[in-house]
Amino acid sequence: MGGDKYVAAVAGDEVEQRLGNELRRSWERHFDELLPEIQPCDGARELIVQLKARSHCVVVATSAIQSHFDTFIDNKLSARELADDWTTTDDVENSKPAPDLVTAALAKAGTSTAVMIGDTPWDCQAADRAGIQTICLLTGGFSEAELRAAGAAAVYESPRSLTDQVDETALA
């Protein structure tokens, strides 16, 4: 869920109207301070490499702001050259669980047939609303049961476990 929706979801519409922008700016400052400590999940880059080796078009659809995406894709994953394209929350009107990010990614990929890899119920909801399925990872703080209830077609522990079992998925 992007910041455009999170304040209202947690604190209500009145707080969103009064303090939403201020809270998002504060969160961004705190997140920026922690950014040097954040590391990719085990196997994240390898999963992208595996997908590219299978000739998949890889388009990242993230609720992150562009500056955070740039840090992750360039400095944390060293994977910008592996991604065919990307879309961030800065590119769309509504973040997940709205389908905007997913439909923008599909348009950039030039297809309506895809599989999304995500780790939250909001990823599942956005993908479903865009007409595609989601393979989920247990890296977003949600249980397998929560992800399946949100519509996950399959759930894997980590990017590494998905990479190791990719032949058993719709990505094979």
Instruction: Note whether 45 and 2 are same-domain residues.
Output: no
Say how far apart CA 155 and CA 136 lie, in whole Å.
5
- The one-letter code for the residue type at 12 is G
Provide mean pLDDT across the span 21-25: 94
**Residue with the two structure tokens 């993908």:** 127
Residue 156 CA: distances (Å) to CA of 38, 49, 85, 88, 148: 21, 18, 24, 24, 11
Query: Which CATH number characterizes residue 63's domain?
Result: 3.40.50.1000
**Burial degree of 146 (CB within 10 A; 0-12, 13-18, 19+):** middle
Instruction: Note whether 28 and 82 are same-domain residues.
Output: no
pLDDT tens column, 29-78: 999 999 999 999 999 999 999 999 999 999 999 988 899 999 999 999 99
Instruction: Note whether 153 and 102 are same-domain residues.
Output: yes
Instruction: Note whether 82 and 45 are same-domain residues.
Output: yes
Q: What is the mean pLDDT of the chain?
A: 94
What is the total count of domains within the chain? 2
pLDDT, position 152: 97
pLDDT, position 69: 95
Nearest residue to 68 via CA among 140, 118, 60, 103 = 60
Q: How many residues does the chain have?
A: 172
16: pLDDT confidence band, cut at 50, 70 and 90? very high
pLDDT tens column, 100-123: 999 999 999 999 899 999 999 999
Instruction: Note whether 98 and 162 are same-domain residues.
Output: yes
Say how far apart CA 84 and CA 30 lie, in whole Å.
30
pLDDT tens column, 65-91: 899 999 999 999 999 999 999 999 889
Q: Give long-range contacts, CB 8 A cutoff, 24+ apart: 26-29.
A: 27/3, 28/65
* Joined tokens for residue 129: 């609303």
Instruction: Note whether 65 and 141 are same-domain residues.
Output: yes
Say how far apart CA 46 and CA 96 lie, in whole Å.
25
Instruction: Note whether 31 and 48 are same-domain residues.
Output: no
3-state secondary structure at position 133: strand
Instruction: Note whether 33 and 49 are same-domain residues.
Output: no
Instruction: Note whether 30 and 95 are same-domain residues.
Output: no
- Preceding amide of 97 cis, omega within 30: yes
pLDDT, position 57: 94
Instruction: Note whether 93 and 108 are same-domain residues.
Output: yes
Instruction: Note whether 53 and 135 are same-domain residues.
Output: yes
Compute the chain's Rg from CA coordinates: 16
Instruction: Note whether 34 and 44 are same-domain residues.
Output: no
Residue 133, domain extent: 40-168
